Structure 1
Amino acid sequence: MDDSLFENFIPVSEKQWKQKIQFDLKGKEYNETLSTKTKDGIVINPIHHLDSYKQVVSDRSTHDFKIGQTIFIADERVANSIARKAIKGGVESILFKASGPFNIQIALKNIPIEIELQFEFEFLSESFLTDLINHTEKYTTLLNIDIIGNLGKEGNWFTTLQNDFKVFNALLKHTSQKSIVFGIDAANYQNSGATITQQIGFALAHGFEYINDFLNVTDEPTEKRLDFNVNFAIGSNYFFEIAKLRAFRTVWTSVCKDLRLQSKLHITASPSTRNKTLYDYNTNMLRTTSESMSAILGGANTVCNLAYDSIYHKSNAFGERIARNQLLILKKESYLSNANQMVNGSYYVEYLTKEIAEKSLELFKEIEKNGGFLKQLKLGNIQDSIEKSATKEQELFEDGSIVLLGTNKHTNTSDTMKNELELYPFVKTNPRKTLIKPIIAKRLSERLDQERLKNEA
């Protein structure tokens, strides 16, 4: 482009813009008339200008995101077959979920070395995990061991606090430059109704518990290193979700720098389940596309899309293929490869990143001041704050301030779903004794969905 074209435009300062806005508002202050404030207390102004622009500096090295797919291991051979077909279809990262130990060799048979392997377990076994680490040493592997995340979600440790941390400490020796053993499940905070600031503040305090334990037991006199994979759920607030991931990298880098701790941060992101609907389910594809874009632009290393029918259908080839193709289109046809740098310099996104980072850091410091994340979790303070935010969000949905098309606006009354349900799409009640009140994910449209199912002819 010929730079001389810009010589025809006279620069306009931020002060001049504000004066023009005030003139059009007939003397009223624009920040009182046009500015809004979020639940987190972040003020959204009508203009952002170079004069007050401040770029947020964080560890966001250029990288291309990997297309991920989640596969449940019920039968090792079936899971392996699904994985190999997904890889042929363009998947670059496989997230295996398992409720118990499995045959590693069968599950990973003929999986190419260049494929990133991720795991999520509903159990904790030092011997199995050690075998898995040894078997996958040539892969880039993320085990996502998160004993505190399990406590928050289930209300109990895998076994006991002492035994769980004993396994944690035993696995520390397996940390490497290529693979990451430990994870932080921040997705459950979003899916349960936490605000963006809460998600980052809680995830930071959550990880800080591990870091504290690591620093207390490590014998390394010089460089200390502890790497993490953080799982985030991405909601529909497009620019805020982009800024959320950027802000987390910023505060994580800052805290680790203060502790003189080397920490490679890998972020895996997937669309939130909180705003997914049972009726008019094709709109879920629109939501997951937008949310995947936020994850990519925010700098996620791996993006695992959510199938449009995942809340009511068992895993199926069609739904998974559509979810995979959404990411392939974004990466290959929409030119979003290496897109995590695209938003750098956007005054609005940089402003949001700075505000979210500062407010979440304040929340983190408050948690640490009051004894740390585990103590606050045991006291129920973390759960209560999420519940308060979730209740407010639910109220906004109920009164129509939060819109889910096809559910609480532009509803297709002839749409029926009773005969489509293969999975129970609501919060399951499973009375059991727990150490703490669990943090339970819940969709916004559950009540409306239940009412419509009851009223179906």
Structure 2
Amino acid sequence: MAEHLFDEFETVTSKQWKQQIQYELKGADYNDTLVWESPEGIKVKPFYHNDEDTKKGHIQTPNHSFSILQNIFVHDVKKSNQRALDSLNRGAESIRFTIENETVDLAELMQNLPLGNTVYYFNLPFLSVDFVSKINAYQAQSHAKIIIQIDPIGQLAHDGNWFENLDKDFEKLNHLASNTASQAPFLSISSGIYQNAGANMVQQLGYTLAHVNEYFNRIPTLRQPITIEVAVGTNYFFEIAKLRALRLLFATLAQEYDHTFDCHIIATPTKRNKTLYDYNVNMLRTTTECMSAILGGADAVANLPYDSLYHKDNEFGDRIARNQLLVLKHESYFDKVNNPADGAYYIETLTLQLAEKALALFKDIEAHGGFITQLIEGSIQKKINESAAKEQELFDSGKEILLGTNKYPNKNDKMKHDLELYPFVKQNPRKTLIIPIIEKRLAEKTEQERLAQEE
């Protein structure tokens, strides 16, 4: 018989905890002193208790291990193939190829790569029925596990234009969805753009849900798993709750369309808090962000190299990013516990609060014409810009801290001659259907000022 070690102690109620805290505060107001409010309007208490904070029950996440995902941009097919082989030999467990055009020879790209349980993602920044058919034919022949990532709405949000136009893009998607017998999943939601542009967590979840709903509405024969790619920020427990809330919201929406598949979540650390100066701190940021992604139940985690802002893809940066995940998985044993956040009253309460607020935002978007309509009208962009401006103000005033940038900066740190990539928002004036959602880092203005002062 199991021994209950604490049965001899009396149960302490939430009310008793509050009374003791109030006594310790010596008359100071409990709410003013210890309760703080997040940018999402969630009031965070100093303690959570099972007699009032878990009334709605536990929230389950899938019981499986996460996959270490390596990103590879395909410029040279042979080199990309060799890099994929090398990455898998060094600890990567799945590969994502970003393919820029339809001329890529799939057999050459996949030559000698292990199949079996290895998942290969094909991220396509274009929409071609013929190329997707080639991928499906290769999958049928090789029995490879393939997930395709295509997102016309994400293309509209990021670029300001559809691949072609709304009608033709969805005509192609409906054609792809019409025969699912032997097809790889093809639909993806690029929701990381909302976080990287400065949206708060409720907005990220609400916009992602509305983004998904447009596809459910416009592709009635959709009967395949949907991939959702999220960006994970630095608010550790909130980010765990965000991913859990995303699964909860997706399942609720999918049920309304008789869609029986769970969403497949790819998580990547945010770019928004990454810095050019004191760049090694980026490794600390990405480590905690990957931890949140894993504990939140991501299916695959693609880490962000510490030098990705200013260096081209390189072996050292990739190896460090991959090793961070290997340490978390094989030395910190993050893959050994199923649903690790289960029973954590704080996280479960945050999950429900984020889900409820995001669902209310989603309903408001649908009541005002839906996500695409609000993108075209500019309402989504306006709300994100307002949220981003509030966060930027906190950073500029020093209330939101990035170590090495607006707190304890190293004045001797020089970066001007180490830039292989332009690390700031690129200005490219052109005609677009909508105002695109612009991803911008918090430290950009500060960094530009510092670069200008370097000799």
TM beyond 0.5: yes
Matches within 5 A, 1:155-194: 155-175=160-180, 179-194=184-199
Q: TM-score, normalised by structure 1?
A: 0.95
Does the Cα contact within 8 Å between 1:133 and 1:174 map onto a contact in 2? Answer: no
**Paired residue total:** 450
Q: Deviation of residue 438 (structure 1)?
A: 0.2
What per-residue deviation string (whole Å, max 9, x for no partner) do you get for residues 123-176 of structure 1? Answer: 111111111122124222221110000000000001111111111111113546
Q: 2:202 aligned to 187, 191, 197, which one?
A: 197
Report the counterpart of residue 89 of structure 1 in structure 2.
Answer: 90
* Secondary structure of residue in 2 paired with 1:68: strand
Q: Which has the larger displacement, 437-446 or 106-115? A: 106-115
CA deviation string 1:307-353 (max 9, x = no partner): 00011000000000000000000000000015451111001000100
Question: In structure 2, what is the Cα distance between the partners aligned to 1:369 and 1:23?
Answer: 48
Are 1:133 and 2:136 matched, yes or no?
yes
For residues 200-232 of structure 1, what are the alpha-carbon distances to aligned partners after superposition, in whole Å with 9 as ceiling and x for unaligned? 1000000100001122xx3xxxxx734200000
In the TM superposition, residue 254 of structure 1 has moved relative to its aligned partner by 1.1
- The equivalences for 1:213-252 within 5 A come to 213-215=218-220, 218=221, 225-252=223-250
Match of residue 215 from structure 2: 210
How large is the RMSD of aligned CA atoms in angstroms? 1.7
Equivalent residues in 2 for 1:360-371, closer than 5 Å: 360-371=358-369
- What is the CA–CA distance in structure 2 between the aligned matches of 1:273 and 1:199, rounded to whole Å? 15
- Which of 118, 122, 140 is residue 125 of structure 2 equivalent to? 122
Q: Secondary structure at the match of 1:96?
A: strand
SS at match of 2:217: helix
Match of 1:447 in 2: 445
Matched, 1:33 2:36: no
Q: Is the 8 A contact 1:281 1:308 kept in 2?
A: yes
Structure 1 residue 112, shift from structure 2 partner: 1.0
Unaligned regions of 5+ residues in structure 1, if any? 219-223
* Partner AA of 2:118 in structure 1: I
CA distance in 1, matches of 2:60, 2:46: 29
Task: Name the SS for the 1:181 alignment partner.
Answer: coil
User: Residue 98 of structure 2 aligns to a residue in which SS?
Assistant: strand
The one-letter amino acid paired with 2:420 is: E
Residue 108 of structure 1: CA displacement?
1.1
- One-letter code of the match for 1:145? I
Aligned-residue sequence identity (percent) comes to 48
For residues 340 and 157 of structure 1, do their structure 2 counterparts lie closer, same or farther at Cα, with a shift above 3 Å needed?
farther
Q: Aligned equivalents of 2:454 and 2:295: distance in 1?
A: 41
Q: Which residue of 2 aligns with 1:221?
A: none
Contact 1:58 1:249 in 2 (8 A): no
Using the TM superposition, give the Cα deviation of residue 256 of structure 1 relative to its aligned residue in structure 2, in angstroms.
Answer: 1.6
Distance 2:149 2:257 in 1: 23
Q: Does structure 2 conserve the Cα–Cα contact (< 8 Å) formed by 1:275 and 1:445?
A: yes
Amino acid at match of 2:44: I
Contact 2:136–2:182 (Cα < 8 Å) also in 1: no
Name the CA distance, whole Å, in 1 between partners of 2:59 and 2:187. 22
1:48-105 deviations in whole A, cap 9, x for unaligned?
Answer: 0011132555562201100001000001001111000000011111111122121111
- For the structure 1 residues 338 and 376, does the alpha-carbon distance in structure 2 shift closer, same or farther, using more than 3 Å as the test? farther
Quick one: distance in 1 between partners of 2:408 and 2:381?
A: 34
1:48 maps onto 2:63 in alignment: no
Provide the rounded CA distance (Å) in 2 between the counterparts of 1:412 and 1:141. Answer: 45
Match of 1:421 in 2: 419
Instruction: Give the structure 2 partner of residue 65 of structure 1.
Output: 66
CA contact (8 A) 1:211 1:226 kept: no
- Residues 56 and 154 (structure 1), Cα distance of their counterparts in 2 relative to 1, 3 Å cut: farther
SS at match of 1:61: coil
Q: 1:365 and 1:308, CA in 2 relative to 1: closer, same or farther beyond 3 A?
A: same
Contact 1:59 1:249 in 2 (8 A): no
Asked if residue 399 in structure 1 is aligned to residue 404 in structure 2, the reply is no
Where structure 2 has 5 or more consecutive residues not aligned to the other structure, the ranges are none
Q: Distance in 1 between matches of 2:234 and 2:149?
A: 25
Q: 1:4 to 1:152 in 2, by over 3 A?
A: closer
